[in-house]
Amino acid sequence: MDHGERPQGGARHVVARLSELGIDFDHWCFACGRANPYGLHLDFDVARGRAETTLVSRREHTGYDGFVHGGIVTALLDETMGWAIFHQGIWGVTARLAVSFRRPVPVGEPLTVRAEVKKETRRAVDIHGELLDSAGTLLADADGTFVVMPEQRRRELERRYSRIDEAFTKVREAVAQEEKQRDQGEGPLFSRAERGVRT
């Protein structure tokens, strides 16, 4: 993944869109749950095999004075990587996650997290994720493997979230429509300017 490359096409603010459909996977998810007062409250832009989120880290995310805790960095990467497979309707769980901390992550600065699917098989998906500062500097990256949930567990979750298939369909349709608009010269959905990278 080019550090400065942003996903082209796709659906923006997927968590908010799902909430509009009355679907919340887990209100208390630390990373994306809206009801968790201590959570990160992330929302995601998704495209085919990619996801992106942005946030400004807060004081309560501190590890060493002035820098974001490594566990928060890991959570950001893990969650964004998981959302990179969302549009395909894949229920996956993290089986392996290897994080490289490249530079200290400052508290209170705008951050961008991106993830991209690298390889997909019937049972697992390999994903790469990156955490960048506002200048495009690579602060941390990760490689992980997400295992596709067994069919029985997926069926249990589908019963819990009875409209999930509808949600996956609507998000995939939005991705396809927005990619079509981009291809017709109406511009990419993720229209923020691409930035150079310093590593």
pLDDT of res. 155: 82
Which residues in the chain come in under a pLDDT of 50?
4, 187-199
pLDDT digits (tens, 9 = 90+) for 25-83: 556 888 988 888 899 989 998 888 999 999 999 999 999 999 999 999 999 999 999 99
pTM, to two decimals? 0.79
- DSSP H helical segments within 111-191, as ranges? 151-160, 164-181
pLDDT of res. 116: 97
For residue 121, the surrounding DSSP H or E stretch is none
Residue ranges and CATH numbers for the domains of the chain are 14-182 (3.10.129.10)
Q: Please give the backbone phi and psi of residue 144, each rounded to the nearest 5 degrees, phi first.
A: -145, 160
Distances (CA, A) of 26 to 34, 146, 160: 9, 19, 10
Residue type, 92: G
Token output for 143: 């490689």
Class of residue 71 by CB neighbours under 10 A (exposed 0-12, middle 13-18, buried 19+): exposed
